[in-house]
Structure 1
Amino acid sequence: MLKGFRDFISRGSVVELAVAVVIGAAFTAIVNALVEGFINPLIAAIFGKPDLTAVGNFTINDAHFSIGLILAAIFNFLCVAAAIYFFIVVPINKMREMRAKEPEGEEEIEPEEQILLLREIRDALRDRV
């Protein structure tokens, strides 16, 4: 049972997924700070509200609705998704393309003229016998 668990954990896909989650969480914190500290106040200033979540609020029968809260969540998601795509996915895809273009083995070197001449002599001698 423990061997199976160890094999499961040591598989490449599980390790890569764990790394992706950690990097994604750290990167999300950076993007959220940028959105909360700069972009949301800029958008909120356009609408004249203290932040984006205060935009489009209304009440019906003591039920409070917040369109701005939904817009802020969508905007944060789009910013995180765009940042991950442009700063992680695109560079990794470019790197994979470059690796795919690299020759896998050693290139075949053209033999020198002397070696070609020696091969011809060898073949001629072999044909005589």
Structure 2
Amino acid sequence: MIKEFKDFIARGNVVDMAVGIIVGAAFTSIVKSLVDNLINPLLGIFIGKIDLSNLTWTVGEAQFKYGSFLNAVINFLIISFVVFLMVKAINRFRIKKDEAPAKPSEEVQYLKEITELLKKKERN
């Protein structure tokens, strides 16, 4: 069972996923700071309030914090857009890499030469 677990952890996709989660968490804190410190004050200029998280709507005793929801939506949109740009850049790189003609192996080259020699022999 320990060997199976070791094999599972040693697979590339599990390690890649772990790295992705760690980088994603760090990236989320950067985006949160961007939204809280740059975008919200910019939106606050137009709305008239600097801190969107304090925007509330009260009905009776219930208080709806739609400003916090707006912050979450802005965070989501920014993260989604950056991930989209990253995937687009990675796909562009992969397409170029895949389009490059692969050099045939020596075995394939020998087989082509033998085929050409046999065709020449049949013509004569």
- Structure-2-length-normalised TM-score: 0.77
Q: Count residues in correspondence.
A: 112
In 2, the alpha carbon distance for the partners of 1:71 and 1:30 equals: 17
How far residue 3 of structure 1 moved from its aligned partner, in angstroms, is 0.2
**Root mean square deviation of aligned Cα:** 2.5
How far residue 70 of structure 1 moved from its aligned partner, in angstroms, is 1.1
Where structure 2 has 5 or more consecutive residues not aligned to the other structure, the ranges are: 110-116
Secondary structure of the equivalent of 1:59?
Answer: strand
Q: Report the counterpart of residue 102 of structure 1 in structure 2.
A: 100
Contact 2:57 2:65 in 1 (8 A): yes
In 2, the alpha carbon distance for the partners of 1:27 and 1:58 equals: 31
Contact 1:8 1:14 in 2 (8 A): yes
Contact 1:58 1:65 in 2 (8 A): yes
In 2, the alpha carbon distance for the partners of 1:5 and 1:38 equals: 45
In 2, the alpha carbon distance for the partners of 1:22 and 1:82 equals: 19
How far residue 50 of structure 1 moved from its aligned partner, in angstroms, is 2.9
Describe the superposition over 1:10-38 as per-residue Cα deviations: whole angstroms up to 9, x where unpaired: 11211111111112112222222211111
In 2, the alpha carbon distance for the partners of 1:69 and 1:84 equals: 23
4+ residue stretches of structure 1 with deviation over 3 A? Answer: 106-109
Contact 1:32 1:80 in 2 (8 A): no
Q: Report the counterpart of residue 67 of structure 2 in structure 1.
A: 68
In 2, the alpha carbon distance for the partners of 1:5 and 1:37 equals: 43
Alignment of structure 1 residues 35-46 onto 2, 5 Å: 35-46=35-46
Alignment of structure 1 residues 1-129 onto 2, 5 Å: 1-55=1-55, 57-86=56-85, 88-106=86-104
Contact 2:35 2:71 in 1 (8 A): no
Identity fraction in percent: 39
